[in-house]
Structure 1
Amino acid sequence: MNPESLQRLLTRTMPFGKYQGRLIADLPGDYLAWFARKGFPSGELGSLLALMYEIDHNGLGELLTPLRSQLQATSRKP
């Protein structure tokens, strides 16, 4: 896990399916668990979904809070 991957969870959206357009960091745990059972997609998307699943499954969602704040502060700057 690296900081860039954590940041991508907060900037990349789900490109397909029931939660299309939602940030990967905001996907529900049961949806992530479904991918864990069925298999994550290949490539970067699958890696990000697997990372988010591990974060969610282990109750580590607070790791993303400082990054969320940082991204929100950056987006508010003129």
Structure 2
Amino acid sequence: MKPEDLQRLVTATMPYGKYEGRPIADLPGAYLAWFARKGFPSGELGSLLALMLEIDHNGLRALLDPLRKRP
């Protein structure tokens, strides 16, 4: 993980599916867990989803709040 990955979680959006257009940081934990069971997509999207799952699973979503307020 790179420090910029945390910023990408609040700026990158889900490109497809039920939550298309929603920031990755706002995806529900159950949806992230579904990806973990089915397999994360390859590339940056999969890495970001896996990172967000870890953050959600450990109850650290508030860690991203200061990044949302950046200009």
TM-score w.r.t. length of structure 2: 0.95
For residue 25 of structure 1, report the CA deviation from its aligned partner. Answer: 0.3
Structure 2 Cα separation of the partners of residues 22 and 51 of structure 1:
16
TM-score w.r.t. length of structure 1: 0.87
**Contiguous gaps of at least 5 residues in structure 2:** none
Q: Which runs of 4+ in 1 moved over 4 A?
A: none
Question: Which is greater in Rg?
Answer: 1
**Contiguous gaps of at least 5 residues in structure 1:** none
Aligned-pair identity in percent equals 79
Counterparts of 1:1-78 in structure 2 under 5 Å?
Answer: 1-70=1-70, 74=71
Structure 2 Cα separation of the partners of residues 23 and 29 of structure 1:
13
Pick 1 or 2: higher relative contact order, CA cutoff 8 A, min separation 6.
2
